[in-house]
């Protein structure tokens, strides 16, 4: 999903959650907004290039599914685990869930899943 939609929806949800979580909504907002940084990290490792424009074009045109670490069930479960011990992890988890729900909505709308939802799934498919 485009970052402008993550920004807009994240802003609305964060503002709605302000009465409950106060200033911690900033963690929710920025986690939701910045989660796609894993696209850029993957691009840098794969192509040894720091071009954001080329990375953007690559992910919009790539047909084969790819592994995005922050978009996996394993990352979600790790954040869930840490959220029992750290408040910061809890708010990051809320931002992550908002982000993933938007991505899933977009994937269902386009009837195309461009990423592996699980590191284990990705690993087993590679073998």
Tokens of 38: 């894993």
Classify the C-alpha dihedral 74-78-81-83 as positive or negative: negative
Residues in the chain: 127
Q: Does 103 bind Zn ion (CB under 5 A)?
A: yes
Give the residue with the Cβ less far from Zn ion, 27 or 31.
Answer: 31
| Nearest residue (CB) to Zn ion, 94 versus 103 | 103
In contact, 76 and 96? CB cutoff 8 Å? yes
Q: Does 36 bind Zn ion (CB under 5 A)?
A: yes
Cβ proximity to Zn ion: between 36 and 92 the closer is: 36
Nearer to Zn ion, 71 or 90 (CB): 71
Q: Are 29 and 55 in contact (CB under 8 A)?
A: no
Give the range of 18-26, 53-61, 88-96, 100-108 binding Zn ion by CB under 5 A.
100-108
- Here's the x/- map for Zn ion, 42-81, by CB under 5 A: it reads as ----------------------------------------
Report which of 9, 1, 2 is spatially closest to residue 28, judged by C-alpha positions. Answer: 9
Instruction: Tell me phi and psi for residue 49, to 5 degrees.
Output: -135, 145
* 38 interacts with Zn ion by CB under 5 A: no
For the bound state, the minimum distance from the C-beta of residue 70 to Zn ion, rounded and expressed in Å, comes to 8
- Say how far residue 73 (Cα) sits from the centre of its chain: 11
Which residues here bind Zn ion, judged by CB under 5 A? Answer: 36, 103
């Amino acid at each position: 999903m485009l970052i402008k939609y993550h920004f807009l929806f994240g802003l609305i949800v964060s503002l709605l959650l302000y009465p409950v979580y106060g200033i911690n909504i900033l963690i929710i907002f920025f986690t939701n907004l910045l989660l796609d940084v894993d696209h850029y990290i993957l691009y840098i490792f794969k192509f040894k290039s720091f071009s954001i424009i080329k990375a953007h074009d690559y992910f919009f045109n790539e047909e084969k599914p790819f592994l995005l670490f922050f978009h996996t069930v394993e990352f979600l479960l790790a954040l869930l685990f840490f959220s029992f011990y750290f408040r910061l992890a809890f708010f990051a988890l809320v931002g992550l869930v908002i982000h993933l729900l938007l991505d899933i909505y977009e994937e269902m709308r386009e009837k195309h899943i461009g990423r592996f939802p699980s590191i284990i799934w990705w690993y087993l498919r590679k073998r």
